[in-house]
Structure 1
Amino acid sequence: MPPVQETSVAQTDQQPRKPRGGRNLPAAIGVGVGLGAVVAASLFVVKAVFMVVVAAAVAVGIRELTSRLAERKDVHVPQVPLLVGGVGMVVTGYFAGGQWAAAILAVTGLAMMVARMATPPENYLRDITAGVFTAFYVPFLATFVALILAADDGAWRILLFLVVTICSDTGAYAVGYKFGRTKLAPTISPGKTREGLAGGIGLSMIAGALLMHFLIDGGTWWQGLILGGCAAVTATLGDLAESMIKRDLGIKDMGTLLPGHGGIMDRLDSLLPTAPVVWLLLAAFVGS
């Protein structure tokens, strides 16, 4: 009789792969389409309305991150100054520019220091440090989305920014699922592979070249290649950074608001660090 172990292994090898991370794929697709419709409607109907979407995402993202910090690490960040300052950064960045958003970041940090004085001094430095990190990580990085939008052709620039970032994730998933063998960062995110990273960079570069050439005034295809490649790298690094945070907190997702995706922060992880890079490259290539 053949060994039982060999039969078991053969059967296991023939089993289809499960979706990465055990996600509910139909729910994830439905939520993704819905989010895309909301973004498109707000972006191309009245441009400034898109800022309401961004501000709402920032507020929810702040709540998710600070709630997980409180639950898992007993870190308590002053909520009111952080939420008010966070939304203020995004709105001010759109209407007044990045220097005013940076000033609000500084004022937000000071306001949290003062607000935290109302409670006992134990862990004061830890709580304020977490608050400043949250203010930088979520609303300040999101301010660059507002700066991208503020350009005359801001809606098309935002579309470029979103598409190259999404293509990075899509290309990485598709290529990694089919051909991925070499782990990219096994201790941080076991599902990511170097082959997937290459696929994400390639698809993002193609999308960047096409969109930069056809949608952005003064843009050329080679600029799009550079922008797409840089966006794919920063999107991957942003994903890994949030994976580090979640591993430190001992959680799988930052929230449960979006079925099949997790929380808002689980969708912003690659967008937030990519926004300043795209803004900088667009400003260098075609002006701000």
Structure 2
Amino acid sequence: MRSESPAEETPAEPGSAETVPAEAVKTSRAGRNLPASIAVGVALLAMVVASLFLVKEVFIAVVAIALLIGLYELTRAFATAGIRVPVLPVATGGTAMLVGSYVGGMETASIAMALTVIGTMVWRLTEGADGFVRDVSSGIFVLSYLFLMGTFVLLMLKEDDGPWRIVAFIIATIASDIGGYIAGVLFGKHAMAPTISPKKSWEGFTGSLIAGVATGIATVTYALDGDWWVGIVLGVAGVVFATLGDLSESLIKRDLGIKDMGDLLPGHGGLMDRLDSLIAVAPIAWLILYLLVDVS
């Protein structure tokens, strides 16, 4: 999910709305079909929450499928620059990392990752030396960017109160996005990183902080029975890392010369355009909750 929203674009010049249809103005400010975006977002959230509280193993499948779709989107995007990701070993090893982290913890996931790195190199050997380093490096990058980050989500799930830990992590990230979106629409004027993502503003970042901290306090206090100040830590860290993840994916797309990672989700773009913040926040959210909140 991203706090980088087209809503943070510089508003049109005064008077321009008089000559542009209302729908077009809405599209220029939102940059997407807002009703479709909201509907898809609500549907995805409902699916995640339902799988979390019904059967944990179903949620593992949801995470694995989401990351495999992300792998497909990144592979297709990298191909536009002549980079060939070794898909089969990365997909197989990445899925093993996810399952291993839930069943045996990070030690098992680490073994699976080490074997996957070796398997990726061996797999690519058959295609010769041309582009070997480039392709293997891309495979290890995608393995780390997607599946290593995903293991921390499943480490949270392992705990007795795991579903609520994941809810706290997801809601803090989503609140950051929504707060940034609204503040960007209403007040966005000062670009945060114009050379990377000209749509992201300092006003939007402030809105993200306010929303992230508020929801962090609420979820940590009421869902996890933790101290209120831990909610502040989670909220601030979530906003900072979500923003960094968002900017990083923007830079990847800018480097590759593409606008979106895909078109799977109406009003959103590709699934990676929604996952970028979540996968960046997952490790720090796990660490904060692991160290500062007792399992309830």
Alignment TM class, shorter chain as reference: over 0.9
Q: Where do 4+ consecutive residues of structure 1 move more than 3 Å?
A: 13-21
Aligned residue identity for 1:264: L
- SS at the partner of 2:198? strand
Among residues 222, 226, 230, which one is paired with 2:237 in the alignment?
230
Give the partner amino acid of 1:87.
Answer: T
Measure, in 1, the Cα distance between the counterparts of 2:107 and 2:206. Answer: 36
Residue 203 of structure 2 corresponds to residue 195 of structure 1: yes
AA partner of residue 44 (structure 1)? F
Match of residue 220 from structure 1: 227
Question: Which residue among 38, 44, 49 is the counterpart of 2:47?
Answer: 38
Corresponding residue number in structure 1 for 2:117: 109
Partner of 1:170: 178
User: Does residue 18 in structure 1 map to residue 26 in structure 2?
Assistant: yes
Alignment partners' CA distance in 2, 1:183 and 1:79:
37
Structure 2 counterpart SS, 1:100? helix
Equivalent residue for 1:153? 161
2: CA distance between counterparts of 1:41 and 1:10?
Answer: 46
What SS class does the counterpart of residue 184 from structure 1 fall into? Answer: strand
Larger Rg: 1
1:13 deviates by 6.0
Match of 1:257, SS state, is: coil
Which one of 252, 265, 269 corresponds to residue 259 of structure 2? 252
Distance in 2 between residues matched to 1:205 and 1:10, nearest whole Å: 34
1:128 correspondence with 2:136: yes
Give per-residue Cα distances to partners, 1:138-188, cap 9 Å, x unaligned. Answer: 111011110111110000111101100000000001011101111001111
- Counterpart in 2 of 1:6? none
What is the one-letter code of the residue matched to 1:283? Y
What percentage of residue pairs aligned between the two structures are identical? Answer: 47
Is 1:86 the equivalent of 2:94?
yes
- Paired residues for 1:273-288 under 5 Å: 273-287=280-294
Quote the residue 1:27 is aligned against: 36
Q: SS at the partner of 1:57?
A: helix
Secondary structure of the residue aligned to 2:199 is strand
Aligned to 1:4: none
Aligned AA (2:133): L
User: 2:72 corresponds to which letter in structure 1?
Assistant: R
Q: Structure 2 regions of 5+ residues with no counterpart?
A: 1-12
**Is the counterpart of residue 262 in structure 1 residue 262 in structure 2?**
no
Aligned to 1:182: 190
Counterpart in the other structure of 2:150: 142
Q: CA deviation at 1:126?
A: 0.6
Distance change >3 Å, CA 215–CA 10, structure 1 → 2: closer
Post-superposition offset of 1:18: 3.3
Deviation, structure 1 residue 48: 2.0
Q: Whose relative contact order is higher, 1 or 2, with alpha carbons under 8 Å and at least 6 apart?
A: 2
Amino acid at match of 1:166: I
| Residues 10 and 30 of structure 1, relative CA distance in 2, 3 Å threshold | closer
* CA RMSD of superposed structures (Å): 1.6
